[in-house]
Chain A
């Protein structure tokens, strides 16, 4: 039987967690088919990564080229679209990440493979690939089946699957020549821009009072910030609050912001999109205040208050005064 490709994601000299999670998922799907699990590693100076991956996959395919050093969808796609016809993987797994979202759709069009994105579940039923996705902001799940095809592409939600740990057996490492000839001018990677280190470091706080779009407007920020201070903590927020400029980016908890693990995390008017939840679920105790009892945040919180935050905040404000 054929094989499953897992596209290794790495950035700035590190393999990203999503890679190991995809290998964990890939191993399960491969077992359903008796297929081999292949890690596809594109980059420059990849020896160490290849050795690590060989302990977690049945095979590592390596293509080295200076143009693959930092992620760029064009050279990545050129290499993959030359490897796929040669090895004919039944399924190619790619992270549903900034990297994969820039690559998977164009690759699947080029290969003419059906694609499922942002999977939280994936399995094979006969020759048909079926996946589960989380839709409508996490309120509903959908089971999807893809058209039968000799190849499929699935992008995988970060944090949704257990990572593959190193095994005893070591897979083979195969070096493939780079198909890239001339320099690619249409799209060029220029540089990374690190997050500026300014203001309060919310990752150090023991108590975080975090606000979401559900607070309705920036006029509520000062009182909630005062509560946070009186509790000996800091104010933070979810993405829509930063998008609307109610709070600066450095306060954002989420995949594209900070990951926090305070003793107490109080989420006010936050619906609980996975991009947020994944970055705060390591908190010791999570308390959610939301008027929507179906909000996904209650699935991750330890305690919940189902009410309009405006009924709760004035009382909390008074109580917090004596608590610092």
Chain B
């Protein structure tokens, strides 16, 4: 079972202060910490678990700048065998990324190709399913369980309201992986150091015979902070005082 996992390096914004660039089209990134997209981490771990069970290899690939090497090394430490970085610092358009990945892996015999359901930054959620269509492969999105049966995969998709569905796919196939599909494994420093010895290939679009010439399908005109509508009344004061206000509300509500 040979598996390819497509991963993205993203900035962590959950607890960070966000500023908008002067051009108004992007947030400032220089104060942010970058890491492996959470969904992709689950996909890499799942690929490693499938490899343990069925043998084969796990290849991780990422389109991004030099700094993406860090997240690829992390993926190698998580159990991937080799990594491929396609040098391209600027592309944001998911459709174009899907086309580049498709051209890169076409002709290689992967049984499964995985991506995360979406990326934490723009949450567009299109690369995996677009890639399947370009490659002419069946796909399933939002997968939270995988069972391989010969040349078919029985997968569970997460639907709304706690309901799931079983779908059967003919391999090779493309799956987009949901968080929680497995238990993440702690990645030790020793594993990272060891991973630095593993194979990491770096290629340019030109070397692949590709040019990012296609017109981008979706353009960002402007980014802005969401309009402040109804905003919470923020309680000021010491922890004792704010907890006092909280319990007051609770008393009132409990009647």
Contact = CB atoms under 8 A, between A and B. Distances in A.
Interface residues on B, range: 35 or more
Most buried by B among A97, A190, A305, A306: A305
A93 interface: no
Contact of A102 (B157, B218, B250): B157
B110 to A, nearest CB: 16
A146 interface: yes
B251 to A, nearest CB: 7
Contacts of B123: 117-118, 133-135
Given A185-B170, A186-B170, A264 B129 contact: no
Contacts of A261: none
Interface string A284-322: 111110011110101111111111000110011001100
Given A106-B130, A135-B223, A192-B165, A98 B159 contact: yes
Nearest to B27: A140
A57 B168 CA distance: 35
Given A136-B18, A137-B120, A294-B18, A323 B251 contact: yes
Given A136-B27, A190-B167, A207-B250, A97 B160 contact: yes
B218 A144 contact: yes
Given A187-B167, A306-B234, A118 B124 contact: yes
Contacts of B247: 316, 319-320, 323
B162 interface: yes
B180 interface: yes
Interface residues of A, number: 103
A202 to B, nearest CB: 11
Given A115-B95, A186-B138, A213-B14, A142 B253 contact: no
B203 interface: no
Contact of B170 (A106, A187, A232): A187
Contacts of A257: 161-162
Contacts of A107: 133
A239 interface: yes
A240 B179 contact: yes
Given A98-B159, A287-B249, A190 B95 contact: no
A192 B164 contact: yes
Contacts of A170: none
A214 interface: yes
Given A135-B122, A249-B162, A312-B239, A109 B231 contact: no
A189 B167 contact: yes
Contact of B239 (A97, A146, A207, A307): A307
Nearest to A113: B217
A259 to B, nearest CB: 8
B18 A117 contact: no
Given A101-B141, A140-B226, A285 B158 contact: no
Contacts of B239: 307, 311-312, 315
B179 A243 contact: yes
A291 B16 CA distance: 11
Interface in B34-66: 42
A304 B120 CA distance: 25
A145 interface: yes
Contacts of A101: 117, 125, 129, 141-142, 176
A312 B243 contact: yes
A193 B166 contact: yes
Given A231-B250, A256-B158, A305-B235, A109 B130 contact: yes
A186 B104 CA distance: 24
A139 B18 contact: yes
A141 B226 contact: yes
Interface of A: 11, 16, 70, 72-74, 96-99, 101-110, 114-118, 130, 133-147, 158, 185-195, 206-207, 213-214, 231-232, 239-240, 242-245, 249, 252, 255-259, 263-264, 266, 271, 284-288, 291-294, 296, 298-307, 311-312, 315-316, 319-320, 323
Q: Which 8 A-B pairs give the minimum distances between C-beta atoms?
A: A195-B162, A243-B180, A304-B232, A105-B129, A106-B133, A190-B166, A114-B217, A301-B232
9 contacts: A11-B159, A101-B117, A109-B133, A136-B120, A144-B221, A146-B217, A243-B179, A299-B226, A303-B249
Given A144-B218, A188-B168, A263-B254, 17 more contacts: A16-B160, A101-B125, A103-B129, A105-B128, A109-B95, A130-B221, A133-B122, A134-B226, A142-B222, A143-B223, A158-B160, A187-B167, A190-B165, A207-B253, A294-B17, A302-B233, A304-B233
